[in-house]
Structure 1
Amino acid sequence: MGRKVQNQPEAEKKTNKDKVIDIRLGIFFDGTSNNKLNIFEYRNPEQYQSRWTKKYHEFKRWTSISYKSDFSNVAKLSDFYQQEKKDNEYFGAIYIEGIATAPREKDTDPGGFDDYMAAATGMGELGINGKVERACQKIIEKIGGILAKNENKGVTGIKTLKLDVFGFSRGAAAARRFVSCIEKPSGERIRHRGRYPSYYDVCLCDVLKKKGKSLPPVNRIQPCFLGLFDTVSSYGLNFKDDVKELTLGVSKPEMVVQLVAADEYRKNFALTRIKTANGKSKELILPGEHCDIGGSHNDGVQEKTILKQEKTIVHHNMVQTLPAIYNGYKTLEQLLEEGWINSKDEKIRVVSNKYSVIPLLLMHSYLKMRFNQDILKENRIISELAEIKKRIDRIEQYPLYRFISTIPEQMEPLFQKDDTDFILLKNIRHHYLHLSASGGLVNSPAKNNIRLIIDDSK
């Protein structure tokens, strides 16, 4: 991408000797119902009591799930992105709250309620387009903050605005939407229908022209890196047309990395691939379900083995037995054989969230020069996961899974029962990997427990 961004009228351009700088920003789109500021507020309520009564604060916490999860991998990465100046290049990080969660004017402001319609559809002010619009506005504010520093007084232009963009789940869809619309808006972006329709400002170039007139001109915008944790768009009611509606192609970044959840197969969690990547790209399938890869599971979650007990019903003198439904919508034999439970009598298992550090550090490894290395100190691999960490470190050369060109496309393991890799995964599943489908409207399984995979090139 090399198009000049004309955010300043010709007549206002300065004619004195140019003083130009480069800016590189990390943009972090969190997943649906993930919000690191809400989590911090939930864990530190005493800091937010001045403007909210305790009763109201408690009500908000218990009706909005974004307060009660753990930090996602996108949120963790955002805390360690480079902030210091290097030579003539300035850095900054922008965190965008997850879909369905309310933004704050200041980090110290109390948070709002989650929007359950946005959580269900990915639409609205707190939906995908709304978050992309917010990212564009925050970029203008961040550039303004960098230019306000004394050393940057008199800057006449920004030579290159470089962008490293990350996203998890629907946040990954928002990240793709943002990158694809940098130069030109496309796809579905209507905000309000009627006689005078309005639209979401999802195009960074357009936003710079309209709202960045006080800034010096940006000569070039370059998306350098796109890091995706298991893209799930789930936009509107028909998820199969999201690639076109949201322009989810990934042809513009220099490098694209997507970490895919091998054990995810919920009906509403279709994966969007990255086949349209023109530059260097890596699409790696890792053990674990959606939040094992993207983070946000709390530590020590309890998972029941049986979701519904076997039931016998009598109707018109006919006896019918409804079989038990087990967690993950697997059979009891599968749960035992694959290592999810240790015995048929096990009623509840307690699952750690420590495994999600492995995908975090894997993503970090592709752009580690842009992060403060304290991320390694604060996200260590526990000894019980050392072997699987070593195995995943070699996953590029020796994959654990692959995509197969069936109709529809599927994923399959590259190991057989009793192979070394099978045994390695079986040994960690019970304590460290979560089961995908647990029933209900959101967490129901896909047909035959086979995840829908969407080709972004079609």
Structure 2
Amino acid sequence: MSIEYFVEGKVIVQTKGDNISFSKGDIVYNSEKSIIQRGAETGVSYGEPRKIHPNDKPISTIDVTLNLFFDGTFNNRANTKIGIAGERKGGSYDNDYSNIARAYDSIDATEDNQVSWYIEGIGTVDEKSDNDTLGILPLKGGAMGVGERGIKAKVTKGCLRGVAALRKKVGSKRIDILKVNVFGFSRGAAAARHFIHIANTPVVPIAIADNKYIIIPPERYERSQQEKDEKIDSNQYIELEDITHPLLLKHGYFGACLIKNSLNINQVRFNFVGLYDTVASYGFNHRGNWFVENDSKQLNLDAVKNAKFVFQICAADEFRENFSLTNIKSAGINSLEITLPGVHSDIGGGYVDEQEEKVLIYKDSSISNCEVYKNILVEEGWYQPEQLSIETIAYRSRDEVSYRYKLWGTRKLSNHYDKIPLSYMFHYSKYFAVVYDNLLLQDHEIRDDYINSIYGKLTEYVSACNSLRNNSISNNISDSDYLKSTSRLNYLNFNIEEKDLKKLRNKYLHWSAYLDGIGAMKPRVSGVKKEEERKRTILDG
């Protein structure tokens, strides 16, 4: 709201004490002559402005920020904590903390009018086994991203638990603007994007009695034992009487959660979306065909266009069959997408430091093909010759012996590289009122000298991407032209020397595509391929 005064004479303000003006924007004085300022004691002085307290408003409303953190498949901060304590149980218990968990744990919990909630990764439940099918396999949630541990179920949990935390923090205070920021990694990034879809899509209430309706959740989520004991979200269907409420009409199930918690909100804005390598891998067919839409369309991942700004960090070296990337094309010039060296979890985190990685890279009936691939990987810097071995397996039949050959790679790798993408996420999210605890941020500073040098070189690339976007905005460049221009920028063109890239690959970057027996981690392209041919599918979103 603005107030303008028009006067033909003078305006004189007299006060016995101080005359103080606060503004969250600029204070502008315009005069056709001069602006005269006098002070009886020290004259005019300039200094750091005093911060305006968020509750200091001329009306009795506040602005609140809600941050939701959706973790990736088999990433669960509670289970990681148990695993670090020595109770390794496989799966999510064996992973390190992801960048989603690290960012959530770095939030300033004392900041006024900021509320944050963490949603554990797809396929996991706190303190439970990841095996959700017959107690022996992680099929529904982990393998397909569906069911009570799937993408949609985690969105339901984000709506319910996030809004409950919001109610606990603000109570009955009237909220002028609720600013929502969402973060996600992997399928958690898909969940963050699907959340924006759900929160911007009207629902169809189901009448159950006179003036009583229920709102169906995207998918029921499986509760932890603690949530069951505390009777949290035992009923995830929301019962309402007024189905004409503006929050319900505009914000669907998320709006229903706000109404259920008696929150009085004037406006909801979707502010910042921070994504690490969106991989939905939803159901069986991810790229789609004539009768099944691709993952991005099934989950409406283009809903990010409803946010003020979208930032995605992509993995340049990921090429697994089931790890198609969904870009942020729909957000156009309101987005910034950067591609950094590494595979999926080099970007989103979760690898354990100095853990041995042993992978079956390739197998063939020709030992010469294995030798060629071995030489390629050494030349590209992924492995030293002694880190690669070729296994010979003899198959005997009645009349002859045939041979198969397997190319194995074995290394110990540092996980310090994932601090680089985390640092960029901290940087951009701060522009959108995400407040972190500076003391906690120190835990995530880059202390590896070599990684620090790589960080400096990659930052030249990121800065170029950022400048391109700023210039495109200033010059009213179209979304399509902006996206074409950004696609031509590559980190390899910004002072990354070959020797640096080889050291980075060999000491820090993982090899994620391997032959695991069931094909879940298999490469998208088969055969002996060089780097420029090892690429994954990219879906528009």
- The TM-score with structure 1 as length reference comes to 0.75
Which residue identity does 2:457 align to in structure 1?
Answer: R
Residues 85 and 388 (structure 1), Cα distance of their counterparts in 2 relative to 1, 3 Å cut:
closer
**Secondary structure of 1:34's partner?**
coil
Per the alignment, do residues 129 and 334 of structure 1 end up closer, same or farther by CA in structure 2, a change over 3 Å counting?
same
For 2:456, what is the secondary structure of its paired residue? helix
How many residues align? The count is 385
- Say whether 1:439 aligns with 2:504: no
Alignment partners' CA distance in 1, 2:237 and 2:337: 30
The Cα offsets for residues 137-179 of structure 1, whole Å up to 9 and x where unpaired, read as: 012211221134xxxxx52x22111111100000000000001
1:343 and 2:394 aligned: no
Matches within 5 A, 1:59-74: 61-62=88-89, 64-74=90-100
Q: Does residue 366 in structure 1 map to residue 428 in structure 2?
A: yes
The match for 1:247 among 296, 300, 308 is: 300
> 1:333 aligned to 2:379?
no
Aligned to 1:134: 157
Q: Which residue of 1 aligns with 2:498?
A: 422
For 2:177 and 2:161, locate their aligned partners in 1 and report how far apart those are by CA, in whole Å.
17
Q: CA deviation at 1:238?
A: 1.5
Distance 1:426 1:185, change over 3 A: farther
| Alignment correspondent of 2:14 | none
> Aligned in 2, Cα 1:349/1:165: closer, same or farther, shift over 3 Å?
same
Query: 2:104 aligns to what?
Result: 78
Structure 1 match to 2:184: 167
Alignment root-mean-square deviation, CA: 3.4
Matched with 1:404 is none
1:200–1:353 CA distance, 2 compared to 1 (3 A): farther
Q: 1:139 to 1:189 in 2, by over 3 A?
A: closer
Using the TM superposition, give the Cα deviation of residue 79 of structure 1 relative to its aligned residue in structure 2, in angstroms.
0.7
Matches within 5 A, 1:116-135: 116=138, 117-135=140-158
Task: Give distance in 1, aligned partners of 2:488 and 2:523.
Answer: 16
| Within-5 A mapping of 1:299-318 | 299-304=353-358, 307=361
Deviation readout 1:59-87 (Å, 9 max, x if unpaired): xx53x50111000001100111233344x
Question: SS at the partner of 1:215?
Answer: coil
Is the contact between residue 140 and residue 208 of structure 1 (CA under 8 Å) also seen in structure 2? no
* CA displacement at 1:447 relative to structure 2: 1.8
Distance 1:207 1:284 in 2: 30
Aligned partners of 1:82 and 1:93 also within 8 Å: no
SS at match of 2:330: coil
Shift in CA distance, 170/275, structure 1 to aligned 2, threshold 3 Å: same
SS at match of 2:301: coil
Aligned residues of 1:273 and 1:454 also touching (Cα < 8 A): yes
Equivalent runs, 1:201-220 vs 2, <5 Å? 205-209=252-256, 212-220=259-267
Check 1:211–1:296 CA distance in 2 against 1; reply closer, same or farther (3 A cut): same
Q: Matched residues in 1 for 2:273 and 2:464: separation?
A: 23
Q: Is this contact kept in 1: 2:199–2:255, CA < 8 A?
A: no
Partner amino acid, structure 1, of 2:282: Y
Distance, in Å, in 1 between the alignment partners of 2:330 and 2:540 is 9
Name the stretch that deviates more: 369-378 or 217-226. Answer: 369-378
CA distance in 1, matches of 2:202, 2:512: 35
Mean Cα deviation higher: 24-33 or 337-346 = 337-346
Q: Give the AA of the match of 1:392.
A: L
Q: Give the Å deviation of 1:305.
A: 7.1
2:443 aligned with 1:378, yes or no? yes
Are 2:222 and 1:222 aligned? no
Q: Which moved more, 1:432-441 or 1:283-292?
A: 432-441
Counterpart AA for 1:174: A
**Cα distance in structure 2, aligned partners of 1:374 and 1:171:** 27
CA distance in 1, matches of 2:91, 2:167: 34
CA contact (8 A) 2:458 2:491 kept: no
Pair member with larger Rg: 2
Contact 1:169 1:230 in 2 (8 A): yes
Percentage identity across paired residues of the two chains: 34
Give the match for residue 106 of structure 1.
none
2 CA distance for matches of 1:324 and 1:200? 57
Aligned partners of 2:525, 2:436: CA distance in 1, in Å? 41
Residues 415 and 161 of structure 1: CA distance in aligned 2, closer, same or farther (over 3 Å) = closer
Counterpart CA distance in 2 for 1:412 and 1:266 is: 23
Rounded to whole Å, the distance in 2 between the matches of 1:243 and 1:310 is 34
Classify the secondary structure of the residue corresponding to 2:462: coil
Q: Which runs of 5+ in 1 are unaligned?
A: 1-16, 46-57, 104-109, 149-153, 193-197, 312-320, 400-409
Which position in structure 2 is the counterpart of 1:37?
Answer: 78
Relative contact order higher in (CA < 8 Å, ≥ 6 apart): 1
Indicate if the aligned counterparts of 1:254 and 1:279 stay in contact, CA closer than 8 A: no
Are the structure 2 counterparts of residues 365 and 77 from structure 1 closer, same or farther at C-alpha, using a change threshold of 3 Å? same
Moved more, 346-355 or 171-180: 346-355
Q: 2:122 aligns with which of 93, 99, 105?
A: 99
Match of 2:63 among 14, 19, 22: 22
Does the residue aligned with 2:200 lie in a helix, a strand or coil? Answer: coil
| Closer, same or farther: CA 19–442 of 1 in aligned 2, 3 Å | same
Tell me whether 280-289 or 111-120 shows the greater mean CA deviation.
111-120
Are 1:256 and 1:279, in contact at CA under 8 Å, matched by a contact in 2? no
1:242 Cα shift?
1.6
Which of 447, 452, 458 is the matching residue for 1:392?
458
Task: Give the whole-Å Cα distance in 2 for the aligned partners of 1:227 and 1:98.
Answer: 16
**How far does the alpha carbon of each residue in 1:365-399 deviate from its partner, in whole angstroms, 9 at most, with x for none?**
11236222234310122112121110111122457
